[in-house]
């Protein structure tokens, strides 16, 4: 019954569109028939006037369409910026504030749920996929090189969704900006893509011990 109702509505819609197209075609045909029956000078003037009206109407409609589109784009971008900024504040507070405790990680769970809801409503597919890959990897509980690179991919997706140009940002920019030994991390990750952050700390301690000798 539901399928028949849907099919009937679709057929009615197609019939209305066909009727509208036929009506517009008839008007155009009648207009040109009328033009051909009047003196050439009057016909030329009518064609010129009609063309002017049509072009002006089309220009106004097109201008309003792009103006409305620009307003909507600005609205979406402002909303996305607000959502991403809120997330990044929490993220940086959790991972880069030395005074944080384990309670902060627990408090982040409901925040991530709410952030996921907002992602579905406002974000593009690239951001959602990058966030999903990043979250699933972090859930394994072993911070490693891939954790850093997936975080970087997520940040790049956010920047791209806000229409920022990522050209010129080399792979590893996140490590260079936020890890104390970012350059060393990238060197170690190139040798061992699965190196953990705990192993990196051990290597850093060995290097510092040798430097103090």
Average confidence (pLDDT) over 185-201: 87
Residue 182 is predicted with a pLDDT of 85
CB count within 10 Å of CB 158 equals 23
Residue 85 is predicted with a pLDDT of 94
Contacts of 173 (CB under 8 A, 6+ apart): 152
Tokens of 70: 């620009």
Residue 47 is predicted with a pLDDT of 63
Highest mean pLDDT among 30-44, 59-73, 187-201: 187-201
Residue 162 is predicted with a pLDDT of 93
Beta-bridged to residue 144, according to DSSP, are: 196
Stated length of the chain: 213
Residue 119 is predicted with a pLDDT of 93
Tell me if 199 sits within 8 A of 114, measured CB to CB: no
Judged against a pLDDT cut of 50, whether residue 61 lies above it is answered with: yes
Judged against a pLDDT cut of 50, whether residue 101 lies above it is answered with: no
Residue among 112, 117, 107, 104 nearest 87 (CA)? 112
pLDDT in tens, 199-211: 888 888 887 777 7
pLDDT in tens, 4-20: 656 666 777 777 777 77
Spatial separation of the C-alpha atoms in residues 25 and 155, rounded to whole Å: 53
pTM over 0.85: no
Domain ranges across the chain: 20-103, 123-212
Residue 8 is predicted with a pLDDT of 66
Spatial separation of the C-alpha atoms in residues 93 and 184, rounded to whole Å: 24
Judged against a pLDDT cut of 80, whether residue 97 lies above it is answered with: no
Higher pLDDT, 131 or 74: 131
Residue 37 is predicted with a pLDDT of 65
pLDDT in tens, 2-59: 556 566 667 777 777 777 777 666 766 666 665 566 566 655 665 666 677 777 776 7
CB count within 10 Å of CB 33 equals 9
Tokens of 161: 């969704």
Average confidence (pLDDT) over 173-177: 88
What is the separation of C-alpha 77 from the centre of its chain, rounded to a whole number of angstroms?
9
Higher pLDDT, 104 or 62: 62
């Amino acid at each position: 019954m539901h399928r028949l109702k849907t099919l009937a509505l679709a057929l009615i819609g197609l019939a209305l569109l066909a009727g509208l197209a036929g009506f517009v075609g008839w008007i155009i045909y009648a207009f040109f028939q009328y033009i051909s029956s009047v003196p050439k000078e009057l016909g030329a003037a009518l064609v010129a006037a009609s063309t002017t009206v049509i072009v002006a109407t089309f220009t106004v409609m097109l201008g309003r369409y792009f103006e409305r589109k620009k307003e909507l784009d600005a609205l979406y971008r402002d909303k996305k910026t607000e959502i991403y900024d809120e997330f990044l504040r929490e993220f940086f507070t959790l991972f880069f504030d030395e005074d944080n405790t384990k309670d902060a990680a627990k408090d982040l769970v409901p925040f991530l749920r709410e952030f996921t809801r907002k992602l579905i409503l406002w974000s593009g597919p690239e951001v959602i996929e990058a966030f999903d890959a990043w979250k699933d990897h972090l859930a394994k509980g072993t911070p490693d090189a891939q954790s850093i690179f997936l975080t970087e991919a997520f940040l790049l997706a956010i920047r791209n969704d806000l229409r920022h140009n990522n050209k010129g940002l080399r792979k590893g920019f996140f490590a260079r900006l936020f890890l104390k030994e970012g350059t060393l991390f990238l060197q170690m990750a190139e040798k061992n893509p699965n190196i953990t952050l705990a192993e990196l700390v051990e290597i850093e301690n060995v290097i510092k011990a040798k430097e103090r000798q």
